[in-house]
Structure 1
């Protein structure tokens, strides 16, 4: 019996908690509905007030004179240059980054002639690998070649004296030619033990030591990396939704936060494929060389995707909505008084706190920038 009692108690508590959650949710929905209802009533009341004031002003001009004006701040609109930017994050990259690799199969490192951070030039000797066998082979062939040349010279002298056969002379000559070819190949093989820089730049990484093995397969992990810091670019990923707004030639403003440096550039490369995982495409733009700009540096990228040299803009917080759409409050002179009027507008781009107005306002209009909250169409206002 006691066990049944506890089970009933737990069930009662859980049901109570469930009812409490449902009641809280229902109360929240009731408040939301009540708020929408009050907003509708407020708009209706504002219209009624404006209508009554207009009727009173016509029937009793003296009463209209004592109407209290609401204090507001105003600003006169003028055409101005307006731009919209897409703000993203990118990285500085080097146009040319190369991992030094041996021309042959590689071998044991015998000497390294460059240090990390040191400038290098194309063709500079950076490393020497084990070459004793190749050296021995070259020495042997040189010795054989010297002997073959001596025999050929002797055979040629005898031939000029009418001694010997033409076959003997040709054989001696062919021996010289063959050994010269072998020497060239052996010297080429010996050259594989020398590792050279293939471009100008900085030895950004030197991750190899004397005595270690160096091969083409390990070059990117244990070797020398050369970075051409005089040819830099900015690389960033652009969301797919901007595909039609960013292309080759688009203007970029690149800011390097660490150095507080801003550079203007243009898109030189725009990817043709959307990355299926990130839903982005890449863009590249040239960056100037400088001691304060380094590969892999983080950059803030602003892409200008829209501009109007004579746009009408308003502060975004002045925009309001009603059942007819979007509007702003403007100040107009009527019968010597400053009156608030509702002006329906069509908006364009938004950047920072400025909103482009496509229609509904024009240069010379005076908008209410402060105190517009709660204003109704036709209300008397003042700026002082």
Structure 2
């Protein structure tokens, strides 16, 4: 009875919707009958699945009839030994040991400033003058006294050599002359301090104190002088690189702000490791003929800390790792016929990286064919088709 009821119900539904299998898609859509449209969609999906299944069966049968196997398609790279240079990248700051503020050594009024900002000066050139407060007159008087003492000493010396006069007179004249010389030297030294001179050749970067100001030693900065010829970069390197970062190592220095890159070398390696960051300092000489490199300019350093003239390099993205943490790649055996070969898993050990490539220390040899594209989809001892 239940079966009869279900059959009758199905008949009623089909009669109300119509037989969708005999109607075209356009007719069903035009009918605006939601139930009929959904029924047609279900029929088409079933047909689509059936067609896909049938196609797979046909393709498989054709492969059997043609004796053709469906093999993974891969590409390979041939291993060659090349020179490998690894670079350590750190950031540094440009410095100069000839960048100082000049302070007066004598108290008084700054009577003259002989230079301007941006002016080039030579070592020993007079940059400014401080009022000597009468030292010049004192020196002139002292020189007069020195000349008199010298004449008296020379006369007493001639008399003493002729055994005329007493020894005490000769010694007194000699002492007076030496004392007069010391006074002159002392006054000359004091007077010299009233002249502010360039301690090295360079450029006047800043005139801090204006002419007419009263200055005092150690308190009143007068000028800033900078030499941009003898520049260097100071950088900190982690202590783990201490064995490889040594004096004379080549360094590629780039200045992002200037868009400039130069090749130089390490001129000094520090002997102290900072306990706070476990790093040591290095100095890299910077030629600056154009004068465009300024103190405190940020720079990026690439230090050649490792070189292998016969290294094996492979792309990092073809390396896989097993459950034991071992790294491996797939190679194709040398007996390749008609671009068909067999994939073989090879355990490797790796070294340093540079960009997208990594150095292989063990596991590969020159001449090996390493699978590149398709390496993730092959299995050990599986036949593959090579498409290079």
- Alignment TM-score, normalising by the size of structure 2: 0.70
Contact 2:96 2:230 (8 Å CA) reproduced: yes
Contact 1:326 1:344 (8 Å CA) reproduced: yes
Q: State the secondary structure of the residue aligned to 2:294.
A: coil
Kindly report which structure 2 residues correspond to 1:186-225, keeping only aligned pairs within 5 A, or say none: 186-218=187-219, 222-225=221-224
Distance 2:277 2:136 in 1: 54
User: Relative to 1, partners in 2 of residues 1:110 and 1:342: Cα closer, same or farther, differing over 3 Å?
Assistant: same
Kindly report which structure 2 residues correspond to 1:108-127, keeping only aligned pairs within 5 A, or say none: 108-127=109-128
- Measured against aligned partners, the alpha-carbon deviations of 1:27-67 in whole angstroms (never above 9, x if no partner) come to xxxxxxxxxxxxxxxxxxxxxxxxxxxxxxxxxx9799532
CA drift at 1:105: 4.2
Distance 1:359 1:367 in 2: 14
Q: Equivalent residue for 1:354?
A: 357
- Measured against aligned partners, the alpha-carbon deviations of 1:151-187 in whole angstroms (never above 9, x if no partner) come to 97xx99xx9xxxxx999x9789987775565344323
CA drift at 1:142: 5.7
Q: Equivalent residue for 1:71?
A: 73
Contact 1:253 1:303 (8 Å CA) reproduced: yes
- Measured against aligned partners, the alpha-carbon deviations of 1:291-344 in whole angstroms (never above 9, x if no partner) come to 133332221101111111111110011110113511112233456523332221
Q: State the secondary structure of the residue aligned to 1:370.
A: coil
Kindly report which structure 2 residues correspond to 1:67-216, keeping only aligned pairs within 5 A, or say none: 67-102=69-104, 104-141=105-142, 179=180, 181-216=182-217
User: Relative to 1, partners in 2 of residues 1:97 and 1:372: Cα closer, same or farther, differing over 3 Å?
Assistant: same
- Determine whether 1:373 maps to 2:376: yes
Larger Rg over CA atoms = 2
Q: Equivalent residue for 2:345?
A: 342
Aligned length: 312
- Measured against aligned partners, the alpha-carbon deviations of 1:230-285 in whole angstroms (never above 9, x if no partner) come to 22222111112222221222221111223333222222211111112232110012
Distance 2:375 2:352 in 1: 22
- Measured against aligned partners, the alpha-carbon deviations of 1:127-172 in whole angstroms (never above 9, x if no partner) come to 11121332343355467678x68x97xx99xx9xxxxx999x9789
CA drift at 1:117: 1.8
Contact 2:264 2:286 (8 Å CA) reproduced: yes
Distance 1:108 1:133 in 2: 12
Q: Equivalent residue for 1:227?
A: 226
Unmatched 5+ stretches in structure 1: 1-60, 160-164
Contact 1:340 1:381 (8 Å CA) reproduced: no
Consecutive aligned runs of 4 or more in structure 1 exceeding 6 Å deviation: 61-64, 143-146, 169-177
Distance 2:332 2:183 in 1: 97
- Structure 1 range deviating more: 118-127 or 88-97: 88-97
Contact 1:313 1:355 (8 Å CA) reproduced: yes
- Alignment TM-score, normalising by the size of structure 1: 0.70
Unmatched 5+ stretches in structure 2: 1-62, 160-164
Contact 1:69 1:382 (8 Å CA) reproduced: no
Q: State the secondary structure of the residue aligned to 2:376.
A: coil
Q: State the secondary structure of the residue aligned to 1:273.
A: strand
User: Relative to 1, partners in 2 of residues 1:335 and 1:172: Cα closer, same or farther, differing over 3 Å?
Assistant: closer
Q: RMSD of aligned C-alpha atoms?
A: 3.4
Contact 1:92 1:297 (8 Å CA) reproduced: yes
Distance 1:342 1:213 in 2: 84
Distance 1:190 1:64 in 2: 110
Contact 1:77 1:366 (8 Å CA) reproduced: yes
CA drift at 1:210: 1.9
